Structure 1
């Protein structure tokens, strides 16, 4: 399926837009016709996206504004029209540190899921690639479940690695192998682990 990865290069802010069969939609912003479900993966930095989400998407205004806000705290909100989820995924880009986490905002309805990102989100891309396999997502809600799974799978090893580093320092202190001056390395590691663990 056609897919863009850089939000800055997405025409009209659309990274990809597909129906439930993984087929590209001709117009991501056109009203849905007929049955089935669709997935729109959009760039928050696009003025087209911000305008459409707030003014034309049909999403309740409070949730619509949160989806495209410059800064949004992680949360999950259930409304009569649908569910909004705002979360953060670990940053595994080669030039970044894991705790520089990436935000993803999600709006879910029975026949539509909209994901909005500022930066490339590999978790979403991994799910989209499943449309080319024998195990594609079968519904909008399944996309969200798989997104949770992908984000957790990427985050858990990073937290585990930090925990192991903390354990090594602790054991060295107990065994008197670590100079007192080096104990200062423990606090930054613990803070990094706590910051990441908040989003597990």
Structure 2
């Protein structure tokens, strides 16, 4: 069931404000980052990334700001809960540590009254495509987002980064056939 968008937006702002206030390098990721780039608004959750080395610092900052920090069995993120909203804070994406170089590629953007770093569209799509498997491969949900951000994507870099994932390659073939990417 989709979460309340107002609650998601408040959680996004609270998370970004707390991390900014304490100087933890971070970036908005996931569906809300795509929304910042012009895609449809997320209805499910809020995602942030921090460098793997800053994971504990970020968790402590959010706990001090009143978030309930939850450590799920997955070892690539922690969850920060506030007012019924779960914020995922990832320190690894598709098995690779979030690096300072990735965070440095982020664009500073104004979103719902706060200025914050947002991962670039190419990085966002690369991680979404590389995570596709036979267990989860929903092209239909991703197409509207890709169509909305297509002018912001480095298609050559994206093709190189996802070349080892057959599902991602198939998705890029589909976007070429639909005239969404630069082929």
Q: TM-score under structure 1 normalisation?
A: 0.30
**Rg larger for:** 1
